[in-house]
Amino acid sequence: MAEDNFVDSIRIFIKSGKGGAGSIHFHRDRFTRKGGPDGGDGGRGGHIILRGNRNLWTLLHLRYHKHFIAKDGENGSSNNKTGADAEDVIIEVPLGTIARNDETKEILAEITQHNEEAIIATGGRGGKGNSFFKSPTMQTPRFAQPGEPGVEMWIQLELKILADVGLVGFPNAGKSTLLATVSAARPKIADYPFTTLKPNVGIVKVDHIHSFVMADIPGIIEGAHLGKGLGLRFLRHIERNSILLFLIPANSENIYKEYQILLNELRLYNPQLLRKKRIVAVSKADLLSTEQEKQVLNELKEIHETTIIFSSVSQKNVQKLIRMLWETLNTTDTLS
């Protein structure tokens, strides 16, 4: 996914249609000079609807189309004819999209399933025609209802990537390299901080039948929950991952301390993230001698999680890591 093509937040204007007016009409034909009321009801205005599309990974398609306005319902007419309902406006979004009222910040909808639909602006109901109001005591009502107005507002669409495994780590921890190794994704890789500026997603094959989705989240730094570095913009993507794979490079000065900093950033951003299943993996094992590897293994004993040492370059333990992730994904328990 090209970085310039990844849009995970966008502001759009929506306006649903107003309902058609009810008709004021009395039956007339060549045999009837003063018939009873026969004004029909107005039609419903068009809804604004979000629909999930699993083939979309970004909100890019909305960058140049930011106004969505539904048509009004048709007015009622004579002979008790109801006006036609207006066509709904469908906005297709990737799975994991949240819609908020831009002014109140109220969540209007969350889309997580393919073809799931949510009405975010209801079209106005059509007004009742004068036929509706006739009664034994009011045989010739000379009034009808107007249609209800539509709803208009600016909304914020935010994408939280839906992935089975989210990669969590400081810049240069080896997240992009791992994703490129185990999937067909081709993220930008270089030896400097914040090479990854946009989340990347890849499909990891476990065997010829099974697979799972892995997301490379841009690097966290200490203070990310306050917006430092890439900050809050990308922490939200972690919320939708089933498993968090913490990556710490083998050349880290203090593996345990680095893991605690990462945990603390997640805790300060959203404590619920710590309830997710997690695995701690030490990357770049090809940089270690046998003695250094033993030292790292001793450090990992302080971390009371499932741990593994691997190398994307030499492929050491990569398949073991994939199998470990798959088995963890298929256990139903979460952390307390």
CA atoms within 13 A of residue 309's CA, in its CB half-sphere: 20
Last residue of a domain, one of 159, 186, 203: 159
Q: Which structural domain range is residue 325 located in?
A: 165-329
Cα-only R_g, the chain: 29
Asked if residue 279 and residue 154 are part of one domain, the reply reads no
* CB proximity list for 319: less than 8 A, separation 6 or greater: none
Is 298 inside a domain boundary?
A: yes
One domain, residues 74 and 201: no
Both 154 and 169 in one domain: the answer is no
Identify residue 184 by its one-letter amino acid code.
Answer: A
User: Which CATH number characterizes residue 13's domain?
Assistant: 2.70.210.12
pLDDT value at position 153? 97
Partnered with residue 89 across adjacent β-strands are: 48
DSSP 8-state class, residue 56: -
pLDDT attached to residue 88: 97
* Residues in CB range of 188: below 8 A, 6 or more apart: 3, 176, 195, 196
Q: Position of tokens 């990357």? A: 283
103 CB-near residues (< 8 Å, 6+ apart): 153, 154
Q: Are both 295 and 190 inside the same structural domain?
A: yes
Residue 162's alpha-carbon distances to 97, 169, 198, 203, 218, in angstroms, are 9, 18, 14, 12, 15
Q: Are residues 11 and 72 in the same domain?
A: yes
Q: Does 154 share its domain with 170? A: no
Residue whose structure tokens are 């010829």: 208
CB 50 within 8 A of CB 117: yes
Q: In the numeric block, which tokens belong to residue 89?
A: 């406006």
Q: Do 200 and 127 fall into the same domain?
A: no
pLDDT at 221: 53
Q: Which of 109, 146, 152 minimizes the C-alpha distance to 125?
A: 146
Structure confidence at residue 332 (pLDDT):
56
Q: Is residue 186 part of a domain?
A: yes
- Give me the pLDDT at residue 79, please: 93
Residue 47 lies in a domain: yes
Helix (H) or strand (E) holding 98: strand 97-101
- Would residue 127 count as lying in a domain? yes
Quick: pLDDT tens for 188-207.
444 444 444 567 778 888 88
- Nearest-angstrom CA–CA distance, 309 and 282: 5
Give the integer Cα–Cα distance in Å for 245 and 277: 9
Residue 323: closest CA among 308, 301, 333: 308
Together in a domain, 94 and 190: no
Residue 159 and residue 96: Cα distance in Å, rounded? 6
3-state secondary structure of 330: coil
Pairing, β 117-121 against β 48-52? antiparallel
Angle at 216 between CA 212 and CA 219, to 5 degrees: 155
What's the average pLDDT block by block, 10 residues per block, for the chain (336 residues)?
A: 65 97 91 88 97 87 93 96 96 92 93 95 97 92 96 93 83 82 62 52 85 78 46 64 89 87 84 87 87 84 85 91 92 55
Residue 336 within any structural domain of the chain? no
Per the listing, tokens 């990556």 go with 247
- What lies within 8 Å, CB to CB, of 89 at 6+ separation is 14, 46, 47, 48, 49, 68, 69, 70
Q: Do 46 and 174 have their domain in common?
A: no
Total tally of structural domains belonging to the chain:
2
* CATH classification of the domain holding 171: 3.40.50.300
The verdict on 247 and 324 lying in the same domain is yes
pLDDT for residue 6: 67
Are 242 and 315 part of one and the same domain? yes
Same domain, 170 and 155: no
Q: Which residue among 159, 175, 203 closes a domain?
A: 159
**Residue indicated by tokens 């570095």:** 229
Last residue of a domain, one of 159, 192, 209: 159
Q: Is residue 81 part of a domain?
A: yes
Tokens encoding 132: 């509706």
Is 334 part of a structural domain of the chain?
Answer: no
335 located within any domain = no
- Residue 101 to residues 14, 106, 168: CA-CA distances in angstroms? 10, 5, 30
